[in-house]
Structure 1
Amino acid sequence: MRDTADRVDLSACRLCVIGNLGSGKKDGRQQAEAIRDALEGRVAEFALRATDRGEQLAGLARRAVEDGFDIVVAYGGDGTQSAVAGALTGTQTVMGVLPGGTFNYFARDLGVGETVEDALETLLDAKVRPVDVGQIEDLVFLNNVSLGAYPHILKTREGIYERWGRSRLAAYWSVLVAMRRLRHPMRLTATVDGQDRHFTTALVFVARSAYQLDAFGLDGADAIRAGNFAVLIAKARKPLPLLRSAFRLAFGFSAKDSDFDLILTDRLVIETGKRRQLIAHDGEKTRMVSPFHLRVRHGDLKVLVPADGVSKTRDARA
């Protein structure tokens, strides 16, 4: 892959789009064909490998790397971006981002555009930038991981959606249903720089998205831009204050710094009293075994961003 004056020469690149047809609200197949029309003929070789099963995305991305594509573009929401990034992190393959989900925090953080159309413009006039990603055990994440109430809110929400369909009311109800777990907060130890800190909490949120923290109105975004995690640990132990904190994080409403203890670090270990925990990561869920080792992998993912350096993202605080 060649670049001229920091701009990537797409005509010399082999490019593969990994598409999640189940993301977002638009017709995924129709959008995939629009992506094909925009890129095919502008690259040395074009491939589109799409699925409507999220568990297949990482495998599709790994095969694209093995097949020698210079650029692998992820089309879909943050879960799709995270799955593809996990396959590309630590390789020489460059990642492109086409947002197709609800929040699209990773695309907004990069400034590539909040719509597919804007992000396609970025791909056509882009430069490569190394970016930091988070890792918990062997799992790469882009925006956040969380323990406690939030993963169970996601799990409860999926069950309610399957039964009653997707709606804002159903999403709110899922938070209320999941709140019964707040009666049994976790006891955990966070180890940072060899020092142990002990907490009793129902919600731990490890953030890697500066845009998301800005949107929530929380401190820590500048530390994330400097290569750290912002680890938010809910202070409240009673149901109603915990409900407020969890509700804000679950729906992207403005939160309050007074709701959380804040740890800024690029490496930590979290150990919980319960050996197996449900972990939420970029909107997906996985059961993992405590203790959890987290670290920032500095510059280990190569991503296409606007060549002129001008972000296409609106200010999260606007």
Structure 2
Amino acid sequence: MQDSAIFDLSQARVCVIFNRGSGSKDDAEFIEAVTGALEPRAAEFALRRTGEGGNLADLARQAVEDGFDLILAAGGDGTQSAVAGALAGTDAVMGVLPGGTFNYFARDLGVGEELEDALETILEARVHRVDVGQINDLIFLNNVSFGAYPHILKTREGIYRRWGRSRLAAYWSVLVALRRLRRPMRLTARVGGQKRHFSTALVFVARSAYQLESFGLDGAEAIRNGQFAVLVAKAKRPLPLMGSAFRLAFGRSAKDSDFDLILTEELTIETDKPRQLVAHDGEKTLMRAPFHLKVLHDGLQVLLPADGSNKTDGAE
């Protein structure tokens, strides 16, 4: 992460990209709070919104083309990732307005998990450059995964529709999806010219130090130093993988017993199928193998608290 200058909101053209399909927040209340806090302070203010299934990346790219200096992503990690993908490599600065279930990116940055804290950050902020992940042509912020996890997301969507969005529903979807798991995935990981072969139910490529630490897993420091933490589950079948999931939930997982750990800033994954469902920051996409993953160092400009504080300290 590279420090930059204090951000002068009074001189900035500000655009909020609002995802109406994200999280469980009350839309009108959320918009009123954001508009009330930022519109009087910015040189120019606009809010552009989409519904669930709308193209957030297109809205963000249009905001860049329209010359906005600060583009705020209002929503969960999927929203943050879509906006970041449009802003990475441009001169535009990204701000985070968390509105999802887990808000890992907001927690990683330390801008606050609650809207009030995030708005306080934006009002008095510094610009920093942060690393982001890339898989083929797709930018991601927290993680990508293969195998069981994309199917967990599919299951979670059905549970959310029936019972609403909550962390409890998210955890329950893990157990339901793992019970339906049928066969392991065979893959080859190429790292630094060497090949490693695996038969596994799950591969998890992490870019979120906060997420790894919350699970009690190794690799967070490597992430802060600009690498991926690649966790390959040793479990191949539903019951052993469910055991690993329970140990993760209770902070008792150890990489030696449950996962192989690879630390690298670039790798290629080849799978036994030419197309795989890939989970990325809470979303899922059918993608074509092989999968080339690399860390884009200083690839995104974001706003962080000007005083260097971490507004997620003590968050669960």
TM-score range, shorter chain: over 0.9
After TM superposition, list the pairs within 5 Å mapping 1:110-149 onto structure 2. 110-149=109-148
Give the length in aligned residue pairs. Answer: 312
1:273–1:17 Cα change, 3 Å: same
Shift of 1:158: 1.3
| 2:222 pairs with 1:217 | no
Aligned partner letter, 2:241: L
Residue matched to 2:267: 268
1:172–1:89 Cα change, 3 Å: closer
Q: In structure 2, what is the Cα distance between the partners aligned to 1:169 and 1:40? A: 36
Aligned partner letter, 1:8: F
Aligned partner letter, 1:112: V
Contact 1:134–1:294 (8 Å) recurs in 2: yes
Could you say what secondary structure the match of 1:183 adopts? coil
Shift of 1:163: 4.6
Q: So what's the TM-score if we normalise by structure 1?
A: 0.92
Shift of 1:30: 1.9
1:172–1:212 Cα change, 3 Å: closer
Contact 1:18–1:57 (8 Å) recurs in 2: yes
Shift of 1:213: 0.4
After TM superposition, list the pairs within 5 Å mapping 1:46-125 onto structure 2. 46-125=45-124
Q: In structure 2, what is the Cα distance between the partners aligned to 1:178 and 1:112? A: 32
1:202–1:262 Cα change, 3 Å: same
Residue matched to 1:290: 289
Compare 80-89 and 19-28 and name the one that shifted more: 19-28
Shift of 1:241: 1.4
Aligned partner letter, 2:189: A
Residue matched to 1:237: 236
Shift of 1:8: 1.1
1:57–1:235 Cα change, 3 Å: same
Residue matched to 2:31: 32
Q: In structure 2, what is the Cα distance between the partners aligned to 1:53 and 1:153? A: 19
User: Aligned Cα RMSD in Å?
Assistant: 2.0
| 2:7 pairs with 1:8 | yes
Could you say what secondary structure the match of 1:199 adopts? strand
Contact 1:21–1:29 (8 Å) recurs in 2: no
1:163–1:203 Cα change, 3 Å: same
Q: In structure 2, what is the Cα distance between the partners aligned to 1:272 and 1:283? A: 21
1:172–1:110 Cα change, 3 Å: closer
After superposition, what is the alpha-carbon deviation per residue over 1:54-93, rounded to whole angstroms, capped at 9, x for unaligned? Answer: 4321111000000000010111110000000000000000
Percent identical among aligned pairs is 72
Q: In structure 2, what is the Cα distance between the partners aligned to 1:233 and 1:164? A: 31
Residue matched to 1:256: 254
Q: In structure 1, what is the Cα distance between the partners aligned to 2:169 and 2:311? A: 32
Q: In structure 1, what is the Cα distance between the partners aligned to 2:171 and 2:8? A: 46
Compare 54-63 and 224-233 and name the one that shifted more: 54-63
Unaligned runs of 5+ in 1: none
After TM superposition, list the pairs within 5 Å mapping 1:176-215 onto structure 2. 176-180=175-179, 182-215=181-214
Unaligned runs of 5+ in 2: none
Q: In structure 2, what is the Cα distance between the partners aligned to 1:64 and 1:169? A: 36
Shift of 1:41: 1.7
Shift of 1:174: 3.3
Could you say what secondary structure the match of 1:227 adopts? coil
Contact 2:183–2:236 (8 Å) recurs in 1: no
Q: In structure 1, what is the Cα distance between the partners aligned to 2:208 and 2:192? A: 22
Compare 62-71 and 48-57 and name the one that shifted more: 48-57
Aligned partner letter, 1:203: L
1:313–1:184 Cα change, 3 Å: same
Q: In structure 2, what is the Cα distance between the partners aligned to 1:66 and 1:265? A: 34
Residue matched to 2:17: 18
Could you say what secondary structure the match of 2:146 adopts? strand
Shift of 1:34: 1.2
Shift of 1:295: 0.4
Contact 1:20–1:28 (8 Å) recurs in 2: no
After superposition, what is the alpha-carbon deviation per residue over 1:120-155, rounded to whole angstroms, capped at 9, x for unaligned? Answer: 010011010000000001000000000000110110
Could you say what secondary structure the match of 1:68 adopts? coil
